[in-house]
Amino acid sequence: MKGFLVSLGTGFAVLLVFVLGALFDQFIKLTKNSDDDLNINQYVQVSISAKPDIYRSNPSFYATDLSEYDKPAINTAFSAILALVKTNDICTGGSYYTSLAGNQNSQKQELRLNSKLRCEFNAGKMDAYNELINGINDIIKQSPVKMHVSAIIPSFSDTAKEQNEAKLKELIFEKINQNESSLSTQFSKRCVVKNISLNDVTNAEFQSLNTPRMLSANDGGEEITPPELSDIKIQIGANVDFSCK
């Protein structure tokens, strides 16, 4: 009989936690101490919809199987690329480095080149981006350098990120205060927040309509069409500890 009562009590406690979790639409963990106080751990999450305000892209350059005789052509190409990037004013970077790497076929060292641009621009600068990519392609036609054009990704500017984060934090603290009151009513105790551990802001994966491509000397000019800037869901969560007495 005693074992049955213990099992019944355990089952009721599990049921209580399940009901409370459904009530608050949150994950709740309850612990009870010897003074009949309750410690509650709850995961709280809020979200908003926001539209990305910029595009990002990282075109990169590479060349393999180079010799010392290729260096003058490379230097000339990158001098022209850096000048074009500075005039265009939507990308940064463009410095390059060469390194020695083993060649599996000939078992000798070969010279390789790597470089990358970091581009950030709004929708109104798409024509400028296309002009830059096509201008660079014209430059590298007379060199061993090849260009890898990465996908154009919708993103948030630093200002938009700060605004979104501020709004999410305002909403989640509002939700935590509401849950504090709800828990107090539910347990007929005074529940207060003891600790809040905020997670980073996360967003749904950005989908790009562009796939990475390699542009070399045989490629002609082309216009790159970016994905549409549309609202996405961004969210923030927090683990919250409540103490109810």
Indicate the residue among 97, 130, 149 that finishes a domain: 149
DSSP string, 3-45: HHHHHHHHHHHHHHHHHHHHHHTSEEEEEE-TTS-EEEEEEEE
C-beta separation of 208 from 151 below 8 A:
yes
- pTM of the entire predicted model: 0.70
- With respect to residue 220, please indicate whether it lies within any of the assigned structural domains: yes
Domain residues for the domain of 128 are 59-149
- With respect to residue 143, please indicate whether it lies within any of the assigned structural domains: yes
* Count: domains in the chain: 2
Indicate the residue among 124, 149, 174 that finishes a domain: 149
Rounded CA-CA distance 214/220 in Å is 12
- With respect to residue 1, please indicate whether it lies within any of the assigned structural domains: no
Residue 22 has a pLDDT of 33
Q: What is the CATH number of the domain that holds 101?
A: 3.30.70
> What is the residue-level pLDDT of the chain in tens, covering all 245 positions?
444 333 434 443 433 333 333 333 455 666 665 567 899 999 999 999 999 999 999 999 988 888 888 888 888 999 999 999 999 999 999 888 777 665 555 555 567 888 999 999 999 999 999 999 999 999 998 888 999 998 899 999 999 999 999 999 999 999 999 999 999 999 999 999 999 999 999 875 554 444 455 554 445 556 778 888 889 999 999 999 999 99
Q: Domain check: are 114 and 228 in the same one?
A: no
Q: Domain check: are 98 and 84 in the same one?
A: yes
Q: What is the CATH number of the domain that holds 164?
A: 3.30.110
- With respect to residue 21, please indicate whether it lies within any of the assigned structural domains: no
- With respect to residue 84, please indicate whether it lies within any of the assigned structural domains: yes
- With respect to residue 42, please indicate whether it lies within any of the assigned structural domains: yes
Q: Domain check: are 79 and 199 in the same one?
A: no
Distances in Å between the alpha carbon of 235 and those of 4, 44, 77, 198? 45, 11, 44, 11
Indicate the residue among 98, 133, 149 that finishes a domain: 149
Q: Domain check: are 120 and 172 in the same one?
A: no
C-beta separation of 210 from 226 below 8 A:
yes
Q: Domain check: are 163 and 223 in the same one?
A: yes
Q: Domain check: are 135 and 193 in the same one?
A: no
